[in-house]
Structure 1
Amino acid sequence: MRRTILPILAACLALAGCSGTDDEPDAKPKATATSKAASPSQAPEKLEPIWSPKLEEAAGEEGESTGACQLPSSNACARYVGDIMAVVRGLETAIEETGRAYPATTKQIVDMADAESEYEANGCQGDPTADDPNSQCHMAVAVTVGATTLGITLLTDEVGL
């Protein structure tokens, strides 16, 4: 009986890669299901602590960008719209990379991108008629105000992650 069990045991060990000899000294140990289960679970990285400061910096101090965009034709307004939307596009990419849903943040990003498109489509920068209160160019404020509220929206989406 021993003669039958030893070859079967040796075959099982060989198939499992658990031979008793060390024929391959440079071989790397294989990961097993138990080693993966033993590693601690990592909480998903939060985006708000990273992106809120970037949004604040792009918007300037204490409503600076919103004040500049009261005159949508100004170069300062155009600069703020461009700077803010560059950060927003970076945030949008970071959201996509997480693979998680950020519904309110994504909606706000779409609204801000629409306002930027409207600002550019109407040729607001440098156009004196853009400063008229009835001008569509005042949509630029949606970008600047959005920069100040997007961090809060992002934080709200991350509650419970």
Structure 2
Amino acid sequence: MWVDLKACADLIPAASALNNRFAQETSYLTDAAFVALVEGATLALAAPGGEAFLIAFDQDGDYDSPNFLWFRERFARFLYIDRVVVAAAAQGQGWGRRLYAELIETAKALGHDRIVAEINIQPPNPGSLAFHERLGFAAVGERALSLDKVVRYVALEV
């Protein structure tokens, strides 16, 4: 059902554009930076039509995100959700839940005991916060990244 973005260059431009439509929640990336992110990820999945994608790293990832590094300082093993994006027209159709179900199965298969992520609480992202709470993610910390950006760190034991 899922397409591996690492193996499907045809979907990269659409996924990169989708990422940038949600840059406030994810962060803007040039096409080259998006390709590098995908290539370095442990898992980079997309819906076949490109309406949703998920990018995750394990604890050994070569990634300098301050949020990823926060988790690395605290947990020995994990899968870190760097970004998950569902196109506005596809929201409410279960893409996020299905991506997370696949991520949970992958985490178990790789021997990970937790999945971690950060959620913006300033600027607020109440939809993401509610989604993660429904899936059983629990808060494990908070951090101000700048005067106008605060994140909540969450984890799901698998």
TM class by shorter chain equals under 0.3
* TM-score, scaled to structure 2: 0.24
Rg larger in structure: 1
Higher strand residue share: 2
* TM-score, scaled to structure 1: 0.24
Higher helix residue share: 1
